[in-house]
């Protein structure tokens, strides 16, 4: 791929703008040599304005999503994409969230421009567990764990029962819930069906990958080891 198209596809600007950047000497190799439009230089050896290029297509990001942000490119108000560099929204292929967290849910959110990776994570066949920490409005009634694990629980207006889910009770109003699917507002609807209300909700793990010390509102690139952890088999919470 020609240098101009490569950099434009990463969202740094239009092809015309990238051509101008090359003429101005803003695109160099790691040794400081100014590159030309037909230069053949490895992606990892290219600098744009003295900074390494963003990763090539196949990029995966992990964000610690704050409350109040929407997983959309069209909604009004604060969007999760506002927490990323603006050029990420201009990449080709585009960067998308891997599934969604609603506005009032915080925690682990993945982004990628790799459609195969995205579908592998969200596909029911992959059976990737997602772990949520939940604070409830009222004490548990006592039978939630058995109900959620039964594989026969039905949500209102649906015709297919939920997959078994594992409930870890931390206190009478504080639990961890492990799901193997991602239906619309599933955690909130599950507890609503038992007569309770979710006060706070945060996703803390996807597969074997955790947030670790990532600060709220921050993000980081995932390497191959991180991505492998997503699909690793881990004990249920």
pLDDT, tens only, 198-217: 999 999 999 999 999 999 99
Domains of the chain, first to last: 3-52 (3.10.290.10), 60-124+208-230 (3.30.70.580), 130-206 (3.30.70.1560)
Marked catalytic residue, from 45, 102, 114, 226: 102
Q: Is 102 a residue of the active site?
A: yes
Give the pLDDT of residue 74.
80
Assess whether pLDDT exceeds 90 at residue 92: yes
Which DSSP string corresponds to 9-74? Answer: HTTS--HHHHHHHHHTT-EEETT-PBP-TT----GGGEEETTEEPPPPSS-EEEEEEPTT-BS-SS
Look at residue 75 in the predicted model and tell me its pLDDT: 80
pLDDT at residue 20 greater than cutoff 70:
yes
- Residue 88 is predicted with a pLDDT of 94
Q: Band of the pLDDT at 72, cuts 50, 70, 90?
A: confident
pLDDT tens digits along 145-164: 999 999 999 999 899 999 99
Quote the pLDDT of residue 125.
85
pLDDT cut 90: percent of the chain above it = 89
- Within a 13 Å sphere around the CA of 164, how many CA atoms are in the beta-carbon half? 8
**236 has pLDDT over 70:** no
DSSP state, residue 136: E
What is the pLDDT, as a whole number, of residue 130? Answer: 96
Report whether pLDDT(234) > 70: no
Task: Give this prediction's pTM.
Answer: 0.91
């Amino acid at each position: 791929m020609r240098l101009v198209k490569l950099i434009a596809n990463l969202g740094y600007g239009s092809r015309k703008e990238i051509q101008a950047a090359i003429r101005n000497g803003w695109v160099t190799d790691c040794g400081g040599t100014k590159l030309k439009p037909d230069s053949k230089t490895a992606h990892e050896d290219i600098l744009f304005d003295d900074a390494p290029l963003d990763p090539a297509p196949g990029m995966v990001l992990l964000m610690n999503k704050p409350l109040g942000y929407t997983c959309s490119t069209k909604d009004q108000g604060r969007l999760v994409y506002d927490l990323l560099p603006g050029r990420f929204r201009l990449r080709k292929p585009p960067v998308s969230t891997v599934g969604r967290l609603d506005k009032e849910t915080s925690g682990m959110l993945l982004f990628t421009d790799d459609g195969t990776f995205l579908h592998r994570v969200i596909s029911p066949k992959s059976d990737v567990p997602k772990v949520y920490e939940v604070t409830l409005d009222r004490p548990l009634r006592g039978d939630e764990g058995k109900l959620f694990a039964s594989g026969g629980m039905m949500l209102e207006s649906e015709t297919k029962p939920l997959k078994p889910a594992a409930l870890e009770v931390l206190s009478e109003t504080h639990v961890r819930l492990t799901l193997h699917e991602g239906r619309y507002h599933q955690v909130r609807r599950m507890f609503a069906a038992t007569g309770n209300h979710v006060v706070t909700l945060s996703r803390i793990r996807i597969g074997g990958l955790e947030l670790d010390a990532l600060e709220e509102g921050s993000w980081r690139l995932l390497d191959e080891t991180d991505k492998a952890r997503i699909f690793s088999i881990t004990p249920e919470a």
